[in-house]
A and B are shown apart, each in its own frame.
Chain A
Amino acid sequence: MKSLEELKKLRDESIKNIEMRNTDKDVRVVVGMATCGISAGARPVLATFVEEVAKRNLNNVSVVQTGCIGMCTYEPIVEIYAPGKEKVTYIHVDSEKAKRIVSEHLANNRVVVEYTIGSEN
């Protein structure tokens, strides 16, 4: 270790891996990972959320999985909970959509309306 800068760089890199163990986060991204969700492609969606959230250092966001939400036809379903805001439900999510949800909704607070369950009707 030759300088404090070098150590800080290593810390910032390492922190991404253990940031998840902080359960004190406001925003929760919940990915439906029951059989229906997985067969519709939820697994890469979950992975994309985890990677993108870490990449952007969104320390306030935790990505968790859940069981069947009950609307299997819309899977993969992703719900986003934030304090003081209404739950937002995204449907038919894939990796590309997930990236956009992270960059627009999570990073910049703009709900991607066209992917939400409301836009279906």
Chain B
Amino acid sequence: MKIFRSHVLVCGGTGCSSSNSAQIRQRFIDKIKEVNLDNEVQVIGTGCFGLCEVGPVVIIYPEGSFYARMTVDRVDEIVEEHLLKGRIVKKYLYDESIKDEKLKALSEVDFYSKQKRVALRNCGLINPENINEYIARDGYMALGKVLTEMTPDEVIKLVKDSGLKGRGGAGFSTGMKWSFAAPNKADQKYIICNADEGDPGAFMDRSVLEGDPHAVLEAMAIAGYAIGATKGYIYVRAEYPIAVRRLKIAIEQARELGLLGKNIFNTGFDFDIEIRLGAGAFVCGEETALLQSLEGKRGMSRNKPPFPANKGLWGKPTVINNVETLANIPQIILKGPEWFRSFGTEKSPGTKVFALGGKINNTGLVEVPMGTTLREVIYDIGGGCPNGKEFKAVQTGGPSGGCLTTKHLDTPIDYDSLTAAGSMMGSGGMIVMDEDNCMVDIARFFLDFTVDESCGKCTPCREGTKRMLEILNKITEGKGTMEDLDNLEKLAINIKETSLCGLGQTAPNPVLSTLKYFRDEYEAHVNEKRCPAGVCQSLLKYFITADCRGCTKCARICPAGAIEGKVKEIHIINQDKCIKCGACMDACTFHAIIKK
């Protein structure tokens, strides 16, 4: 095998890819060839490094130099200086990675220092399109171990002992799930990887698939051995083209090495995996709807029982595990349940990956031990809200979760604590909101999403969420009454209790939690016809202040002819004519137009 003296790792996750990382990688390859270093320096595309905010990210080893916000233009200089002459180009490094003119190790950078990477351990470190790099990181050793040294029952016991809970949202014990399917007699059983990640702003599973696809394949084979299944499906949304492509490559490479297919490790165990693409319906993340979709039917949920472990895909016993859950399995097998329990909390062992987004400085992907507080994630790792704005709330669990406030910042992140606080763990979306966000509008946004995504099978979800959205729209338009607030709450509780599946049962959470913690904002909309955060357009009024110089620019630009005034005199907005488009505010050079 050829040993290179330097490796250039270019992030090839979706985030960095959308800001030209493929072109950056190509330029590195071309330029390195041009200066005859192609025998010494290897260029590698990886999965997500996590710090998407400063992407595209390039890391050069052995120094571990972290180049942030890379552009194609900077490549030549970095090749000539760093790779050719051995001089790190400090001006392009990520600011936080330099201290006293010296390069800090990545693990010491604030963003990474509080993280513990288990599911993401290979993301950004290996080339996901090269199975050898996964194997170099002990890849497929866990599969080898269970096949040659353990019985299926021992595997299930080990996973149970680890306390691993499903990372997709519901938080059910993974070992228990396996133990339900294992004793069922059937001519065929199935393992399904649920990669239908649909929360707005969530990209944990996508990043695992893009950065470390083999970990998921290996875990599926282990699960197959544990329950006696020989066939696996990965149900992944078609909107994840990079993840799908890397999965295909990974499956191909695993088959070539005989790590998937017939008679794996010469033990007589057969297991193979196929990919099934979903069209991106949120409800298909719910396991019974997923099964329908996988069978080629319309994705709609059904009643449980029967549970998939008894009657799943095509009526056969089936285990459905989420991507992140699976990514933990090989490590648990190799290092043991005690190791896994050594981080996290008593009831929620291990780590959890979060996609940090919204009003936060370090947008990106983080993995922290369970029990870490929201404050640590939002401030220490996430760097707080940008532009000195004040933190207002954080939505965990996406459209199924709830908003938590400043007083919850010291809540430890684990399944029980978040539920107790009125939100939920969910799959790991974490959206931060600052003082400029209107909580009624946020609730409306999530409801709008669930109304769109409701499959329509049961009435509470189909009709109920729609009615809730209508009430919320009414409130944001300033037409709400106090009675509406009561109805909203009643309806929400009703939908939660009577919906068929998880989608409907959790859809009212954003409304309930904002009603609970930000009732004053709702009341301001209803009673004072005022949006305290200045977001709801219908409730806003535009005013011209004394800073106006009478330049007439706003009057000329106003599409409704609502602004009057003479040259060099303060202008006035006619509130009856104003359509609140904001064009005047954007046009004013003197910042003399305000909205409130």
Contact = CB atoms under 8 A, between A and B. Distances in A.
Contacts of A8: 141
B5 A63 contact: yes
Contacts of A7: 135, 140-141, 144, 265
Contacts of A35: 85
B87 A21 contact: no
Contacts of A65: 5-6, 85-86
Nearest to A29: B62
Contacts of B145: 4
A64 B63 contact: yes
Contacts of B141: 4, 7-8, 11
B135 A11 contact: yes
Given A10-B132, A11-B138, 9 more contacts: A7-B265, A17-B133, A18-B7, A18-B126, A18-B133, A20-B61, A21-B61, A23-B105, A63-B62
B54 interface: no
Interface string B119-150: 00000011000001101111111001100100
B265 A33 contact: no
Interface stretch (A45-53, A78-86, A103-111): A45-53
Contacts of A54: 3
Q: How large is the interface on A (under 10, 10 to 19, 20 to 34, 35 or more residues)?
A: 35 or more
A1 B258 contact: yes
A72 to B, nearest CB: 14
21 contacts: A1-B257, A2-B258, A3-B148, A7-B141, A7-B144, A7-B265, A10-B132, A11-B135, A14-B133, A16-B1, A16-B3, A18-B7, A21-B9, A21-B61, A23-B105, A24-B107, A34-B86, A46-B5, A47-B5, A50-B3, A67-B87
Contacts of B135: 7, 10-11, 14
Contact of A23 (B5, B63, B87): B63
A65 B81 CA distance: 11
B313 interface: no
B106 A23 contact: yes
Contacts of A64: 62-63, 86
Contacts of A16: 1, 3
Given A15-B136, A50-B5, A20 B265 contact: no
B85 A1 contact: no
A73 interface: no
Interface of B: 1-7, 9, 40, 61-64, 84-87, 105-107, 125-126, 132-133, 135-141, 144-145, 148, 257-259, 264-266
Contacts of A66: 86-87
A33 B85 contact: yes
Contacts of A23: 61-64, 105-106
A47 B137 CA distance: 24
A24 B105 contact: yes
A120 to B, nearest CB: 23
A32 B87 CA distance: 10
Contacts of B62: 20-21, 23, 62-64
A53 to B, nearest CB: 9
Contact of B148 (A4, A11, A14): A4
| 7 tightest A-B CB contacts, nearest first | A65-B86, A14-B136, A23-B64, A4-B144, A33-B86, A14-B132, A50-B5
A20 B7 contact: yes
A61 B148 CA distance: 35
A24 B107 CA distance: 9
A17 to B, nearest CB: 6
Interface string A74-92: 0000000000000000000
A26 interface: no
A51 B3 contact: yes
B85 A21 contact: no
Contacts of A2: 258, 265-266
A46 B83 CA distance: 12
B153 to A, nearest CB: 20
A105 B105 CA distance: 26
A21 B257 contact: no
Contacts of A34: 85-86
Contacts of B6: 20, 65
A18 B259 contact: no
A63 B266 CA distance: 40
B231 to A, nearest CB: 19
B86 A13 contact: no
